[in-house]
Amino acid sequence: MVTINENYLKLKAGYLFPEIARRVRVFTESNPDAPIIKLGIGDVTEPLPEACRTAMIKAVEDMGDRATFKGYGPEQGYAWLREKIASQDFQARGCEIDASEIFVSDGGKCDTGNILDIFGKGNTIAVTDPVYPVYVDTNVMAGHTGPVNDKGEYEGLFYLPITAENNFTAKIPDRPVDLIYLCFPNNPTGATASKADLKAWVDYARANGSVILFDAAYEAFITDPELPHSIYEIEGARECAIEFRSFSKNAGFTGTRCAYTVVPKSLKVTASDGAEVTLHQLWNRRQSTKFNGVSYLVQRGAEAVYSPEGQSQVQGLIKFYLENAQIIRQKLSDAGLTVYGGVHAPYIWVKTPQGLSSWDFFDKLLNLCYVVGTPGSGFGAAGEGYFRISAFNSRENVEEAMSRITDNFKV
């Protein structure tokens, strides 16, 4: 008889974003003419930067010439892209990251899930609450948790509540944990971490032999020069942290697919037989076995992000989305709603009005305003009573959505 991975049966009814899509689909079937504006999933709307498009067109031409044709590329990514990443994203900020420690992939979401392949089942895992659901669900799938309780919390995970009361910064655990998921600027709350905040985590991880899984997918939205963009700006992080980055939100690659993960060669763990093992070695083996690399065309597009033209165009995109975020913050604040985030991140974290639950507010926004957002409870128990609104959309849609919401939810 065929058996299945029954860990999948422990998952809650549905992954957050497919459940949103299901509810929207049901609504549109009954209201086919409703002009819905989607500010839920963090998908970009503006075109790829011209520099990236030009580079990808040139790459297509390369594929039509035997002399420049590319077949299988290196699983870790082409050296010319990895070197640009190392130089401009890390070394320029004083981080000692070498190109050989960078692994190009098809998505940060994929990497944060796939990284679990190199870790065992006996680890204690800490996640913030609220949290990007992929961190939790992939651990459930891998068999690292027990069942879910009535609050939506899984046995076997160590939850770190982040709330308005603690300024959305997680408290250092009062006991040792093995794997720690951190995301700054934070998804979903939009909160940031200072160098002092990250130093406290690095010091804790080094003292306890922990590994920090640091998701920096939104670092490009940081505008304060005092805030760190990478955990490797903190001394000692090379010995305890893996960092995930993406071209999705800064350069609009959500549909093009390109990201990368940094695994320092100095990050070592001890195997059960006492041998010292580098996680770089394990991740390299995993990628070489299970991944054939990102396409040549896409990597050429990503390389163009680092050209002067690409940098200017990417900054234009970031500025546009941050202006959207400012409009959302201002309009909702003027209407009397309590809002957080949206300053160094493309997400605004809203306290639901009138005592509504997260999903009740979702349904009201959909039915009254024809606007789609993301219920905070979908990110964890501590997200109940909050709602995430994304700044990824056209200016016209953002302004229209705010007009509809404020007309219906003035406090």
What is the chain's alpha carbon radius of gyration, rounded to the nearest angstrom? 21
Tokens of 326: 């400012």
Tokens of 361: 């507010």
Q: HSE, CB side, 13 Å, CA atoms: give it for residue 22.
A: 7
Q: Sort strands 347-351 and 386-390 into parallel, antiparallel or unpaired.
A: antiparallel
Q: What's phi and psi for 196, nearest 5 deg? A: -65, -40
Helix (H, G, I), strand (E, B) or coil at 228: coil
Helix (H, G, I), strand (E, B) or coil at 143: coil
d(CA 150, CA 182): 25
Q: How many CB atoms lie within 10 A of CB 146?
A: 12
Residue 312 is assigned to a ligand binding site: no
Residue 248 is assigned to a ligand binding site: yes
Residue 347 is assigned to a ligand binding site: no
Residue 406 vs residues 165, 332, 333: alpha-carbon distances, Å: 26, 7, 9
- Complete DSSP assignment for 39-52: -SS----SPPPHHH
Residue 15 is assigned to a ligand binding site: yes
Residue 238 is assigned to a ligand binding site: no
Residue 218 is assigned to a ligand binding site: yes
Cis ω before 32 (30° cut-off from 0): no
Residue 408 is assigned to a ligand binding site: no
Q: Please list, residue by residue across 153-176, b when 16 or more beta carbons sit within 10 angstroms of its beta carbon and e when fewer do.
A: bbebbbbbbbbeeeebbbeebeee
d(CA 297, CA 116): 28
d(CA 192, CA 202): 16
Residue 247 is assigned to a ligand binding site: yes
Residue 72 is assigned to a ligand binding site: yes
Whether the Cβ atoms of residue 50 and residue 308 lie closer than 8 Å to each other: no
Residue 154 is assigned to a ligand binding site: no
Q: To the nearest 10°, report the CA torsion of 305, 135, 73, 79.
A: 50
Residue 260 is assigned to a ligand binding site: no
Binding-site sequence positions for pyridoxal 5'-phosphate: 72, 132, 187, 218, 246-248, 257, 292
Binding-site residues for substrate, please? 15, 42, 109, 132, 187, 292, 388
Which residues belong to the annotated binding site?
A: 15, 42, 72, 109, 132, 187, 218, 246-248, 257, 292, 388
